[in-house]
Amino acid sequence: MNNHSKKLPVVMTIAGSDSGGGAGIQADLKAFTALGTFGTSAITCLTAQNPSEVRGILAVTPAMVTLQVETICAFFRVAAAKTGMLYSAAIIEAVAMTIKRRRIPWLVVDPVMIATSGARLLRRDAVSALCNLLLPLADVITPNLPEAEALYGQTIGTRRDMESAAREIGARYRVACVVKGGHLPGQTVTDVLYHSGHIYFFRSARLRVSTHGTGCMFSAALTALLARGYSLPEAVRDAKRYVHGVLKRPL
Q: What pLDDT digit, counting tens, does each position of 88-133 carry? A: 999 999 999 999 999 999 999 999 988 777 778 888 889 999 999 9
User: Does the pLDDT of residue 5 top 50, yes or no?
Assistant: no
Band of residue 235 on the pLDDT scale cut at 50, 70, 90: very high
Nearest CA to 125 out of 156, 102, 91 is that of 91
8 Å CB contact between 92 and 124: no
In eight-state DSSP terms, residue 131 is: I
**In percent, how much of the chain has pLDDT > 70?**
97
Separation between Cα atoms, residue 225 and residue 236, nearest integer Å: 8
Q: What domains can be seen in the chain, in order of their start residue?
A: 10-141+210-247 (3.40.1190.20)
CA distances from 121 to 10, 16, 54, 88 (A): 27, 9, 9, 9
Contacts of 180 (CB under 8 A, 6+ apart): 142, 143, 144, 145, 189, 191, 215, 218
Q: Is 211 annotated in the active site?
A: yes
User: Does the pLDDT of residue 2 top 50, yes or no?
Assistant: no
Separation between Cα atoms, residue 90 and residue 100, nearest integer Å: 15
pTM listed for this prediction: 0.93
User: Does the pLDDT of residue 13 top 70, yes or no?
Assistant: yes
Q: Is 82 annotated in the active site?
A: no
Q: Is 182 annotated in the active site?
A: no
**For 61, phi and psi rounded to 5 degrees?**
-65, 145
User: Does the pLDDT of residue 199 top 90, yes or no?
Assistant: yes
Nearest CA to 133 out of 83, 183, 167 is that of 83
Of the residues 40, 83, 213, 240, only one is catalytic, namely 213
Could you count the other beta carbons within 10 Å of the beta carbon of residue 19?
15
Dump the DSSP string for 20-85: TSSSHHHHHHHHHHHTT-EEEEEEEEEEEEETTEEEEEEEPPHHHHHHHHHHHHHHS-EEEEEE--
3-state secondary structure of 225: helix
What pLDDT is stored for residue 1 in this prediction? 41
Q: Is 215 annotated in the active site?
A: yes
Of the residues 180, 181, 223, 240, only one is catalytic, namely 180
Separation between Cα atoms, residue 98 and residue 103, nearest integer Å: 9
What pLDDT is stored for residue 115 in this prediction? 79
Separation between Cα atoms, residue 61 and residue 251, nearest integer Å: 34
231/184: higher pLDDT: 231
User: Does the pLDDT of residue 12 top 50, yes or no?
Assistant: yes
User: Does the pLDDT of residue 75 top 80, yes or no?
Assistant: yes
31/118: higher pLDDT: 31
Of the residues 22, 216, 223, 240, only one is catalytic, namely 216
